[in-house]
């Protein structure tokens, strides 16, 4: 049988990495590119695929995902931003959803799964509208209009929570709502209290400002989640540089140095030739004198502890121990800055600049050890700036410690959002069902074709309560229909999906709180992304051109 003939004008001959020849047909390359409505539908399909991956992680009964990095490292999480951030996505629109989740995480810190699920549902609804012949721009305009109605309705159904540094009950309940779906849910009251105490310690309530750089979250494998504690000070994963140095320093005066404990070295373009024993001894004497000068300069200021960003060799370490000057070496940049903030000391880049006024102070600096291996860490406590805190997370393995850190970050952000704006809506999908009803009512009063898009937006809002019901093992449609009917008849917008099996649907009585700014941001960001996707009708790679 004769081989098929290939038109040389319609083919490209090339070789692979091993030199083997193969053919690319130009027509095949063209067929993979889509235009217009077909392109928009392919984009919607890609976005829905990503949204469906994270949908099962929504809510307190959501399931976790196991992520394996190219190096074989394992991450187990149900945090939307983490799942999407570590996924390998090739499609351009899928990458937009990853960025959507990241922007929610950066701005609000919580609700990263919900915003992606909502965006996926909106795109699913828009596909049905496109099939009915409605132009993508009219759909996008209708979604924008519906989003405005939903955000206004959120303001109407929101409540204000009152709190103070003494009465933190409402803040703890907000943090517990955030932690309900996390791996730490067994200890979620303890973690919620830690998150609230950390935020209120560093927060300026009058200015409604929470400086996150004063909260450090550290972790160590070993122990259980119940051993997690809040330290009012700074925790360093370091120990004293010499084993014979004292284990604790009271009334510490700390020299915070970013210059190394070593003699000046020649610059890279110069070299030092040593040709005899006498010259070597002179160099040795010079180095020893320099070390002694450095230690003397530190001791003259009254410092009784040195924290250095760089390391120092055994000779310097021995001289520090002989001169009864405890030291900590290889302290990272962020920790150095936090120590300077907590102890109200100055970071000193040269020994000549060190003075008594630039020393930091602390009531006690002590070494703690734990576990059978006696791992050591340093705690700096009783600092003049009492606003610096460290959360020390314990867990049975690295995976649990990392997930607990992520859970704490979400809880801290949820409490921060209440400090910034103390309005809340109730969770369990109650706010979404109520907003859906409000958008349906508004759509009936719109004479233009945009009413179809507004109704679709209202249906998309119900995707979150549907997903919560499904993930909780309930019948999604029956549960949603029942709650929606009760919201209308009882005129109670606080009724939602009973995910925890409490036997009633009132989210106010279940204390399921969502910060208003978090829910509002979800609606706004999801709508903006869907509008952007609906306006893309072609993907052109750089260098593509029709022959």
Could you give the residue numbers annotated as active site?
Answer: 79, 112-113, 410
Strand partners of residue 235: 379
Q: What whole-number distance in Å separates Cα of residue 398 and Cα of residue 74? A: 9
Q: What whole-number distance in Å separates Cα of residue 88 and Cα of residue 69? A: 10
Q: What whole-number distance in Å separates Cα of residue 526 and Cα of residue 100? A: 8
Helical ranges in 429-491 per DSSP H = 430-444, 450-461, 463-471, 476-490
Q: What whole-number distance in Å separates Cα of residue 483 and Cα of residue 434? A: 10
**Residue 364 φ/ψ region, left for φ over 0, alpha for ψ in the -120 to 50 degree band, beta for the rest:** beta
**Residue listed under structure tokens 């001959």:** 13
Q: What whole-number distance in Å separates Cα of residue 105 and Cα of residue 396? A: 27
Instruction: Spell out the residues 6+ positions from residue 9 whose beta carbon is closer than 8 angstroms to its own.
Output: none
3 state SS of 365 = strand
3 state SS of 295 = helix
Contact 343, 214 (CB under 8 A): no
Say if strands 375-381 and 360-370 run parallel, antiparallel, or are unpaired. antiparallel
Q: What whole-number distance in Å separates Cα of residue 181 and Cα of residue 79? A: 9
Say if strands 74-77 and 389-395 run parallel, antiparallel, or are unpaired. unpaired
448-470 in b/e form (b: 16+ CB < 10 A) is ebbbbbbbbbbbbbbbbbbbbbb
Neighbouring C-beta atoms of residue 273, cutoff 10 Å: 5
Q: What whole-number distance in Å separates Cα of residue 102 and Cα of residue 95? A: 11
3 state SS of 2 = coil
């Amino acid at each position: 049988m004769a081989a098929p003939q290939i038109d040389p004008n319609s083919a490209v001959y090339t070789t692979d990495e091993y030199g083997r020849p193969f053919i690319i047909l130009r027509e095949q390359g063209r067929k993979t590119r889509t235009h217009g409505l077909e392109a928009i539908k392919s984009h919607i399909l890609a976005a829905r695929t990503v949204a469906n991956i994270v949908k099962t992680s929504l809510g307190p009964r959501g399931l976790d995902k196991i992520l394996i990095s190219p190096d074989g490292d394992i991450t187990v999480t149900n945090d939307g931003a983490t799942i999407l951030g570590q996924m390998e996505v090739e499609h351009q629109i899928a990458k937009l959803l990853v960025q959507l989740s990241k922007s929610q995480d950066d701005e609000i810190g919580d609700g990263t799964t919900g915003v992606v699920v909502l965006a996926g549902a909106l795109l699913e609804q828009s596909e049905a509208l496109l099939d009915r012949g409605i132009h993508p721009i009219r759909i996008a305009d209708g979604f924008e209009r519906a989003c405005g109605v939903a955000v206004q309705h959120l303001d109407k159904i929101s409540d204000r929570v009152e709190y103070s540094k003494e009465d933190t009950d409402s803040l703890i309940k907000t943090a517990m709502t955030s932690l309900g779906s996390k791996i730490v849910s067994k200890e979620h009251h303890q973690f919620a209290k830690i998150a609230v105490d950390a935020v209120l310690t560093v927060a300026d309530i009058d200015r409604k400002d929470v400086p996150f750089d004063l909260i450090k979250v550290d972790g160590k494998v070993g122990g259980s989640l119940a051993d997690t504690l809040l330290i009012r000070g700074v925790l360093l994963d370091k120990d004293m540089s010499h084993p014979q140095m004292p284990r604790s320093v009271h009334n510490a005066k700390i020299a915070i140095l970013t210059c190394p404990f070593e003699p000046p070295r020649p610059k890279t373009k110069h070299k030092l030739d040593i040709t005899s024993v006498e010259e070597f001894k002179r160099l040795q004497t010079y180095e020893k004198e320099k070390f002694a000068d450095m230690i003397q300069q530190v001791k003259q200021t009254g410092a009784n502890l040195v924290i250095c960003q760089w390391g120092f060799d055994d000779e310097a370490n021995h001289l520090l121990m002989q001169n009864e000057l405890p030291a900590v070496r290889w302290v990272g940049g962020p920790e150095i800055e936090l120590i300077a903030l907590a102890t109200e000391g100055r970071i000193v880049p040269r020994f000549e600049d060190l003075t008594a006024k630039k020393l930091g102070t602390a009531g006690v600096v002590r070494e703690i050890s734990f576990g059978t291996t006696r791992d050591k860490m340093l705690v700096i406590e009783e600092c003049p700036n009492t606003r610096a805190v460290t959360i020390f997370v314990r867990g049975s393995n690295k995976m649990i410690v990392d997930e607990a850190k992520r859970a704490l970050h979400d809880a801290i952000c949820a409490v921060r959002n209440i400090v910034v704006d103390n309005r809340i809506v109730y969770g369990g999908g109650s706010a979404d069902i109520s907003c859906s009803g409000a958008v349906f009512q508004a759509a009936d009063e719109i004479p233009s074709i945009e009413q179809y898009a507004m109704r679709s937006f209202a249906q998309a809002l119900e995707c979150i309560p549907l997903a919560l019901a499904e993930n909780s093992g309930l019948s999604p449609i029956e549960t949603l229909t029942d709650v929606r009917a009760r919201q209308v008849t009882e005129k109670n917008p606080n009724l939602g999906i009973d995910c925890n099996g409490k036997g009633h649907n009132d989210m106010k009585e279940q204390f399921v709180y969502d910060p208003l700014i978090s829910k509002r941001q979800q609606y706004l960001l999801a709508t903006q992304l869907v509008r952007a996707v609906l306006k893309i009708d072609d993907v052109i790679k750089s260098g593509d051109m029709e022959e």
